[in-house]
Amino acid sequence: MSQEITISVIKADIGGMVGHSGIHTDLVAMARQHLEEAQRRGVIVDYYVTWCGDDLQLIMTHRHGTDSPIVHGLAWETFERCTVKAKEMKLYGAGQDLIADAFSGNVRGMGPGVAEMSFIERPSEPIIILMADKTSAGAWNLPLFRMFADPFNTAGLVISPALHEGFRFEVHDVKGHKRIFFNCPEEMYDLLVFIGAPGRYMIKAVYTKKGEIAAVSSTERLSLIAGHYVGKDDPVCIVRAQGIFPAVGEILEPFTMPHIVEGWMRGSHYGPLMPVPLQYAKCTRFDGPPRVVALGFQLADGRLVGPRDMFDDPAFDEARRLCNVIADHFRRHGPFEPHRLPMEEMEYTTLPEVAERLAGRWEPLPEPHPAITGGDGSAVEAD
């Protein structure tokens, strides 16, 4: 058994109540019971079960390291058990994220989202778990950049000797299946070239310059795994706080600007990301707008002391109000870009179908009138 503690956040949508808006409390209770048993057997050190929108979130600490078949298997089994219950209640889309038929050692690529990290626990170890619904993993790019590279967000980058050196970003190209590392602030502009396109390039992890893990996100893309739309990825992210990492307040600060993310209705719209307390982590209006929840814990020998519901604070009221204003404005665009995602990003299948049906009706544009072209077809300059 390792000296390191591992924290694993594994999540899946295994049935919504009502529709895709939220979750049934029976599923949460059932998952708790299952993880309680696992804790009693000594498989995991501690756990906390929660939700965000229609996603069931399993937060677990253990000594098995990342990508452990034991822990991933436990999560898979929990989701399967809850799916039986979800089917019994005929919850909406019961079992939708359990894409594979059987567990094969690791939930990566099977449907559930995973963020996990291992480290030696510091004398005091504050962590923030970020969970979002109705959006995808690229939604963390902007806030992670702000936390770890933007001195206008994180004062510590300028005034704390512990942070002044900067951080190292691991970026995944989820379409090209490759990764790259960037040091900040030195390579900040190179980093931004890629992470500014969050549909393809996603910040997977952030490290200190000495290699200590600072943050990790889930980067699974369900549509890429399944080959067709099966729901948004609804990502999670773990961030360590204080000391050599940004302060709790520097981790939460980026969410005062409700940035525009992809997701929302049918996974096919841009909209603002609304920071909410758990009680408002349900996606109602136009199946959204996309929500983010932040739970804070103190680790104590692997025990999860907490949580504290970090966005349950009037300090985020203005962000929520602004979010509603932006949501109104976007909604007025209806099916027009840039509310609707561009053609190539549309995950629902009606557009390709319509395009195929109409393919034969497209005809070439008439040739330009001879009076406005030269003999060789080139444009004639106007006087």
Binding site for Mg ion (CB under 5 A): 13, 16, 20, 53-55, 93, 133, 234
- Which of 46, 232, 233, 270 is catalytic? The answer is 232
> Which lies closer to Mg ion via its Cβ, residue 163 or residue 237?
237
Q: Tell me the β-bridge partners of 183.
A: 168
C-alpha distances in angstroms, 331 versus 49, 270, 325, 336, 340?
Answer: 33, 10, 10, 9, 9
Quote the tokens at residue 360: 């034969």
233/138 Cα distance (integer angstroms):
10
Count of CB atoms situated within 10 Å of the CB of 284: 14
Interface with ligand F6R, residue 265, by CB under 6 A: yes
Chain centre distance of CA 36 = 26
Quote the tokens at residue 69: 């078949």
Quote the tokens at residue 370: 């001879």
- Which of 11, 13, 85, 201 is catalytic? The answer is 13
> Which lies closer to ligand F6R via its Cβ, residue 149 or residue 236?
236
What region, left, alpha or beta, does residue 111 occupy, with left being phi > 0 and alpha being psi -120 to 50 degrees? left
Question: Taking Cα atoms as reference points, which of 233, 21, 51 lies closest to residue 138?
Answer: 233
Q: Tell the smallest beta-carbon distance from residue 244 to ligand F6R (Å).
A: 36
**Chosen from Mg ion, ligand F6R, none, partner binding at 265 (C-beta under 5 to 8 Å by type):** ligand F6R
Interface with ligand F6R, residue 291, by CB under 6 A: no
Q: Tell the smallest beta-carbon distance from residue 261 to ligand F6R (Å).
A: 12
> Which lies closer to ligand F6R via its Cβ, residue 309 or residue 345?
345
Q: Tell the smallest beta-carbon distance from residue 20 to ligand F6R (Å).
A: 4
> Which lies closer to ligand F6R via its Cβ, residue 97 or residue 253?
97
- Span near ligand F6R by CB under 6 A; candidates 80-88, 166-174, 246-254, 261-269: 261-269
Question: Taking Cα atoms as reference points, which of 232, 222, 230 lies closest to residue 110?
Answer: 222
**Residues 186/167, Cβ–Cβ less than 8 Å:** no
Question: Taking Cα atoms as reference points, which of 1, 4, 6, 3 lies closest to residue 216?
Answer: 6
Q: Which residue is nearest to ligand F6R (CB)?
A: 287
Q: Tell the smallest beta-carbon distance from residue 238 to ligand F6R (Å).
A: 22
**Chosen from ligand F6R, Mg ion, none, partner binding at 62 (C-beta under 5 to 8 Å by type):** none
Would residue 229 show up in a list of annotated catalytic residues for this protein? yes
Question: Taking Cα atoms as reference points, which of 281, 263, 278, 257 lies closest to residue 222?
Answer: 263
- Span near ligand F6R by CB under 6 A; candidates 194-202, 207-215, 241-249, 265-273: 265-273
Instruction: Select the residue interacting with ligand F6R from 22, 113, 246, 267 (CB under 6 A).
Output: 267
Interface with ligand F6R, residue 290, by CB under 6 A: no
> Which lies closer to ligand F6R via its Cβ, residue 33 or residue 350?
350
HEC string for 184-207 = ECCCHHHHHHHHCCCCCEEEEEEE
Q: Tell the smallest beta-carbon distance from residue 379 to ligand F6R (Å).
A: 46
- Which of 92, 229, 280, 348 is catalytic? The answer is 229
Chain centre distance of CA 373 = 53
Interface with ligand F6R, residue 292, by CB under 6 A: no
Quote the tokens at residue 315: 């300090």
**How many residues of this chain interact with ligand F6R, rule: CB under 6 A?**
11
Interface with ligand F6R, residue 233, by CB under 6 A: no
- Amino acid code (one letter) for 259: H
Instruction: Select the residue interacting with ligand F6R from 2, 19, 36, 315 (CB under 6 A).
Output: 19
> Which lies closer to Mg ion via its Cβ, residue 119 or residue 280?
280
271/265 Cα distance (integer angstroms):
9
**Residues 278/50, Cβ–Cβ less than 8 Å:** yes
Under the rule (CB under 6 A), what is the footprint of ligand F6R?
19-20, 93, 134, 231-232, 263, 265-267, 287
Residues known to be catalytic: 13, 229, 232
